[in-house]
Structure 1
């Protein structure tokens, strides 16, 4: 996609994510926010993914504690705090990762919202990832912890499909945010 389309999609996604009901109390004007800020696990977009740059900075400006992934050699994800774009470093596979202290793979279980990348999501909330299994591990870790984390995938409008291929270990997400809308999913039994 052309850079201007990616950037415009990122701006629209940032507005929609900040308006999510899960974050609305925390992104309200100062003085009306709850005392404890939420934690959002997000990611730095790459390639043709909808840009997350504006979103990361707006979440941080709103006082949200933002965790970003750090890819481990076995494709699992560790986490570190987002401290601004100037504190991101280039890592393997062309990824940008936070330069700060590593918090452990379990740190994601403290997140109120996890923003997930994806190639597509279906109308039942099943997400199609890139196949590396990194986020499958995150979703499994969250399920095992019993965390009541809201799982939200960020996509372009055309990536919301009727059905995506699924494996038995796949877990549905709660919502997809596209530039044009927030799509909520009712999970299938057992999902």
Structure 2
């Protein structure tokens, strides 16, 4: 899925993987170690929490979110967490690719589908370069155990999440790269990603 080099080294790297595999932990570690990378904010309609700044989110009204969608300024979006919408904005991605930066974004599989099929990134003649990294667990059993430990859940909900996990794991074959996020070995995971990105 490596695409156009029209903008030099600039590209979008998507981090993908099943829920509970540690995507956010990996993203935060990369953010701390590599300020030269760009980590875009999410647009969201959820209320701002007390003391919350603007580093991670751009807070918008439902009307503004609707306008951004209508103007094709949202690359992907979803309804989560009690009805609030979250999305990836063009303005948080494209200008940074054009300046030659690597943009790193965590998405779920639905977001991955939306972005890889967007005209900015679709096909060999796409104007912008897209790469994808799938983060794998050591085993399915490990991931199920992580789901259990997050919070007490009913058996039917557990089975629903396991089914979702199995569907998400099928996306590994669509990605350019993969890395196993082993328990207690975050540094090794990050080092593998750094080699892939040619940064250290």
Query: Under a length normalisation based on structure 1, what TM-score does the superposition of the two structures give?
Result: 0.37
Larger RCO (CA within 8 A; separation ≥ 6): 2
Query: Under a length normalisation based on structure 2, what TM-score does the superposition of the two structures give?
Result: 0.36
Larger Rg: 2
